[in-house]
RNA sequence: GGGGACGUAGUUCAGUUGGUUAGAACGCCGGCCUGUCACGUCGGAGGUCGCGGGUUCGAGCCCCGUCGUCCCCGCCA
């Protein structure tokens, strides 16, 4: 290249017919080589895409000879002329397929071992190679176009979120990673202190108390895109270190906060190329449980419908339905009646559960045509919709859980939809259906510890009209807590907080913490509440989950650059590792 | 903590009822080829069947243990 005149560096994927006649410099990796003997084609790949380079022995034998050394993933700098391709040689499948670069110089910047897995397979690439191999060589996996796109998408979404908050007057403030263990909720990751042997920092599960302290500190609108850490078992949508969009504001109005978040999410979706409609539907927790059997409903599917009142008395007797018990109809659009075999597959879902399944709606239509018609009407069912009914088993006692049947129906609703999603184009990944779920219960009964525990967290304010229940019937108290849900996935969770010291102390007592314990754990916070704490509230949203859904990915790991396995291991760097005892001694730590 | 699926060539997989020398495709290496674009074509190399033990005349296949990956339940204020 030294003897070639300097040309303007360009990205391969951005070449168009407008560049014809220009001399360009491309730098990137050898994606694929097609050696036709005296004619050799290279697909050069950079982070934008591919461009075809031509080496012609007849025109420049030396250069062609050098190009025969090229192998997959060699790093090259190529100068050449952009030329148009004839219709016969253009490649309509490639964005840059109308042009190619006739090389005038070739610099081999580095060679490469043959990659342990192909980086240049065009279709279904993400599913073809085992994740184990991909993670071990993540730096190679990241070169693949689909991963480049995911990183780019995450960047675009993150920038849009920052802009949206900035435009609303929110201040991004960093909070400590090395903080105090609060053995409430998830397990903490601990960091030993060398200066204070025997003492430990904890990595934050969330900056919850810090953001509340920022409100007390007068920053009335705060946000942070921040890493959080939870030492709990992993799932496809859960990672031990994950990124939250953390938000808090003073003098909050729940509706105003919803609008701010909706606008931010709308901007984030637009950055990913999707327009969503505002405002999101709002559903109380109770409504969500009754209509969907879950606190994170997937609105891409129709709700559950209680059709018990449609059943005439004699039919109810023949079908052995319990009086006053719900009869829940699950409708899955467009799936059609199930085959015998598919119905057989459903039955295990009911086995061992106090549930009766009517999986063959055709039989109901035969025996009770009027009832079937009424049900279809109430469900606004179309021909070809699958309808399955659930009732409590005849012997079942009314459960303590008033939504037990709804929960079962919800599980069935999702299982059916997922089973037939592909065949019938259900659960469209590009259909983004957000909603707010509000008024969660304050407490859940923790049978193991035989005490109440917070459904959200202990800093959550009760609904004003339910404060009286705190002393009389905590199970009935509802919270000013809300979730934002997207396509059946909990995207974010927040609440209006407690800003009065007395109420906060009462909640701690209700959670079984006496005043001494509360002071020992949260004394700094209780103190702070006494110095003029403004009313405040906020929310935290999972950035990884949002980007995962916008990317159409099935796992959070597809949008995390360097993720860990289900056992929280980094296969690439092999972490965690044992450490040398000489590292432990100064920390005052000995292994058992 | 519990349940399920999986582990065979560099990669993705097949491998029958336990039977002789463990196969395919892609990739890799070499030859030929001037319009390919998943180039074609001819030839070649490549295996600790995750690991350990057991049953058996004989184990990739059966049994036990173990390690690893994925999914789900519990858990995740």
Task: List, for residues A219-238, the tens digit of each pLDDT value.
Answer: 999 999 999 999 999 999 99
- Closest C1' nucleotide to A232's CA: B76
Residue A136 CA, nucleotide B10 C1', distance (Å): 14
Q: Please give the structure tokens belonging to residue A286.
A: 């109770």
Instruction: Give dist(CA A207, CA A499) in Å, integer.
Output: 17
- A183: tokens are 């053995």
Closest nucleotide to A56, Cα to C1': B34
Is the preceding omega at residue A279 within 30 degrees of 0, hence cis?
yes
Q: Is A562 helix (H, G, I), strand (E, B) or coil?
A: coil
Question: Residue A237 — φ and ψ, nearest 5°?
Answer: -115, 25
What local confidence, expressed as pLDDT, does residue A400 receive? 66
Q: How far apart are CA A245 and CA A170, in angstroms?
A: 12
The owner of tokens 């037990």 is A404
Q: Which residue is nearest to nucleotide B27 (CA to C1')?
A: A118
- The gap between A574 CA and B38 C1' (Å) is 34
Which pLDDT score, from 0 to 100, does residue A365 have? Answer: 92
The C1' atom of B64 and the CA atom of A446 lie apart, in whole Å, by: 40
Stretches in chain A below the pLDDT threshold 70: 1-5, 122-127, 348-352, 395-400
Considering only CA atoms, which residue is closest to the C1' of nucleotide B74?
A: A233
Q: What is the DSSP string of A528-547?
A: HHTTTPPPEEEEEEEHHHHH
Spacing of A130 CA from B58 C1' in Å? 34
pLDDT computed for residue A125 by the predictor: 41
Residue among A75, A77, A68, A92 nearest A24 (CA): A77
Residue A126 pLDDT:
45
Nucleotide nearest to A32 (CA to C1'): B37
- Tokens representing A273? 């190329």
Q: Which nucleotide is nearest to A236 (CA to C1')?
A: B71
In the prediction, which pLDDT does A5 show? 60
- Supply φ then ψ for residue A411, to 5 degrees: -60, -45
For residue A154, what is the enclosing H or E element? helix A145-167
Nearest to A180 by CA among A505, A522, A455: A522
Measured CA distances, A336 to A332, A367, A383, A419, A509 (Å): 9, 19, 8, 13, 54
Query: What is the CA A158 to C1' B76 distance in angstroms?
Result: 24
Other Cβ atoms within 10 Å of A540 Cβ, number: 22
In angstroms, the CA of A123 and the C1' of B24 are apart by 21
Nearest nucleotide to A135 by CA–C1' distance? B69
Distance of C1' in B21 from CA in A117, Å: 29
Residues in chain A: 592
Q: pLDDT at position A556, please?
A: 96
Backbone φ and ψ of A270, nearest 5°: -60, -40
Distance of A119 CA from B38 C1′ (whole Å) = 13
Which residues, in sequence order, are CB contacts of A402 under 8 Å at separation 6+?
Answer: none
CB-count exposure of residue A74 (10 Å: 0-12, 13-18, 19+)? middle
- Measure Cα distances from A357 to A334, A343, A468, A469, A570 in Å: 20, 10, 41, 37, 44
Q: Which nucleotide comes closest to A228 if you measure CA to C1'? A: B76
Q: How far is the CA of A143 from the C1' of B64 (A)?
A: 43
What are φ and ψ of residue A195, in 5° steps?
-75, -30
CB atoms within 10 A of CB A503: 15
Residues 6+ apart with CB under 8 A from A172: A162, A165, A166, A222, A223, A224, A225
Q: What angle do CA A291, A386, A370 make, to 5 degrees?
A: 85
Strand order in the sheet with A282-284: A171-172, A221-229, A241-250, A536-542, A489-496, A481-486, A434-438, A282-284
Identify, with chain letter, the residue nearest to nucleotide B28 (CA–C1'): A114
With b for 16 or more beta-carbon neighbours within 10 A and e for fewer, the A339-368 pattern comes to eeebeeebeebbeebbbbbbbbbeebbeeb
Spacing of A116 CA from B15 C1' in Å = 24
Question: What's the confidence (pLDDT) of residue A354?
Answer: 76
Pinpoint the alpha helices (H) of A361-449. 361-367, 369-379, 404-424
Nearest residue: Cα versus C1' of B36: A34
- Taking C1' of B41 and every protein CA, the nearest residue is A36
Residue A89, nucleotide of least CA–C1' distance? B35
Location of structure tokens 């859960």 = A238
Going by their DSSP bridges, the two strands A282-284 and A434-438 should be labelled as parallel
Nucleotides of strand B within 7 Å of the protein's CB atoms: 1, 10-13, 26-29, 32-40, 68-77
Residue A339 contacts residue A421 (beta carbons within 8 Å): no
Nucleotide minimizing C1' to CA distance for residue A50: B37
Q: How far is the CA of A127 from the C1' of B19 (A)?
A: 37
Nucleotide with smallest C1' distance to residue A238 CA: B76
* Distance between the alpha carbon (CA) of A36 and the C1' atom of B31, Å: 13
> Left if phi > 0, otherwise alpha if psi is -120 to 50, otherwise beta: which for A389?
beta
**Dist CA A529 CA A445 (whole Å):** 27
**Of A393, A398, A385, A410, nearest in space to A333 by CA:** A385
CA distance A439 to A108: 63
What pLDDT sits at residue A35?
96
For A21, A107, A529, A582, the CA distances from A285, given in Å and listed in that order, are 64, 63, 29, 53
pLDDT digits (tens, 9 = 90+) for A267-300: 999 999 999 999 999 999 999 999 999 999 999 9
Q: Please report, rounded to whole angstroms, the spatial distance between the CA atom of protein residue A162 and the C1' atom of nucleotide B41.
A: 56
Separation CA A320–CA A356 (nearest Å): 10
Q: Are strands A171-172 and A221-229 parallel, antiparallel or unpaired?
A: parallel
Cα-atom radius of gyration of chain A, to the nearest Å? 30
Q: Which nucleotide is nearest to A233 (CA to C1')?
A: B75
Contact present, A56 and A103 (Cβ < 8 Å): no
A28, burial (CB in 10 Å: exposed 0-12, middle 13-18, buried 19+): buried
pLDDT of res. A2: 47
């Amino acid at each position: 290249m030294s003897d070639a005149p300097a040309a303007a560096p360009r990205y391969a994927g951005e070449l168009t017919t407008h560049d014809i006649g220009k001399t360009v410099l491309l730098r990137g990796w050898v994606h694929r080589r097609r050696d036709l003997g005296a004619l050799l084609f290279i697909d050069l790949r950079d982070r934008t895409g591919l461009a075809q380079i031509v080496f012609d022995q007849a025109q420049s034998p030396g250069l062609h000879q050098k190009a025969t050394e090229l192998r997959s993933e060699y790093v090259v700098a190529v100068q050449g002329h952009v030329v148009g391709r004839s219709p016969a040689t253009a490649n309509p499948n490639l964005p840059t397929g109308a042009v190619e670069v006739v090389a005038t110089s070739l610099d081999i910047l580095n060679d490469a071992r043959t990659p342990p897995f192909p980086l240049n397979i065009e279709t279904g690439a993400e599913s073809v190679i085992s994740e184990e191999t991909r993670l071990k060589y993540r730096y190679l996996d990241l070169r693949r176009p689909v991963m480049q796109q995911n990183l780019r998408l995450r960047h675009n979404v993150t920038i849009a979120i920052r802009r949206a908050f900035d435009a609303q007057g929110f201040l991004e403030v960093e909070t400590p990673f090395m903080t105090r263990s609060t053995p409430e909720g998830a397990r903490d990751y601990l960091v030993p202190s060398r200066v204070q042997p025997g003492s430990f920092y904890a990595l934050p599960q969330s900056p919850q108390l810090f953001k509340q302290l920022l409100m007390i500190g007068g920053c009335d609108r705060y946000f942070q895109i921040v890493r959080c850490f939870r030492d709990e078992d992993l799932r496809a949508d859960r990672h031990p270190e994950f990124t939250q969009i953390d938000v808090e504001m003073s003098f909050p109005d729940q509706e105003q906060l919803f609008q701010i978040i909706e606008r931010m999410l709308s901007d984030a979706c637009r950055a990913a190329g999707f327009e969503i409609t505002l405002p999101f539907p709002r559903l109380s927790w109770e409504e969500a449980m009754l209509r969907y059997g879950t606190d994170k409903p997937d609105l891409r599917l129709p709700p559950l419908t209680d059709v018990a009142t449609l059943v005439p008395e004699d039919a109810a007797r023949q079908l052995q339905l319990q009086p006053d018990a719900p009869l829940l109809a699950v409708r899955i659009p467009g799936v059609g009646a199930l085959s015998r075999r598919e119905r057989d597959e459903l039955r295990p879902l009911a086995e061992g559960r106090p549930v009766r399944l009517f999986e063959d709606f055709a039989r109901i239509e035969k025996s009770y045509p009027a009832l079937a018609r009424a049900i279809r009407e109430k469900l606004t069912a179309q021909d070809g919709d699958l309808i399955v009914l659930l009732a409590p088993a005849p012997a079942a006692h009314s459960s303590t859980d008033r939504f037990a049947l709804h929960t079962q129906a919800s599980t069935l609703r999702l299982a059916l939809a997922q089973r037939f999603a592909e065949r019938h184009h259900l659960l469209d990944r590009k259909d983004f259906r957000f909603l707010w779920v509000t008024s969660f219960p304050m407490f859940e009964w923790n049978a193991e510890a035989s005490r109440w525990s917070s459904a959200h967290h202990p800093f959550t304010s009760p609904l004003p009209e339910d404060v009286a229940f705190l002393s009389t019937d905590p199970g009935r108290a509802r919270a000013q807590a809300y979730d934002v849900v997207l396509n059946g996935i909990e995207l974010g969770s927040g609440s209006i907080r407690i800003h009065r010291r007395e109420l906060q102390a009462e909640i701690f007592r209700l959670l079984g913490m006496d005043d001494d314990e509360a002071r020992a754990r949260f004394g700094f916070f209780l103190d702070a509440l006494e110095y003029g704490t403004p009313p405040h509230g906020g929310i935290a949203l999972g950035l990884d989950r949002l980007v995962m859904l916008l990317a159409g990915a099935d796992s959070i790991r597809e949008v995390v650059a360097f993720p860990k396995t289900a056992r929280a291991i980094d296969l690439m760097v092999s972490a965690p590792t044992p450490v040398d005892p000489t590292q432990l001694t100064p920390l005052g730590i000995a292994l058992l």
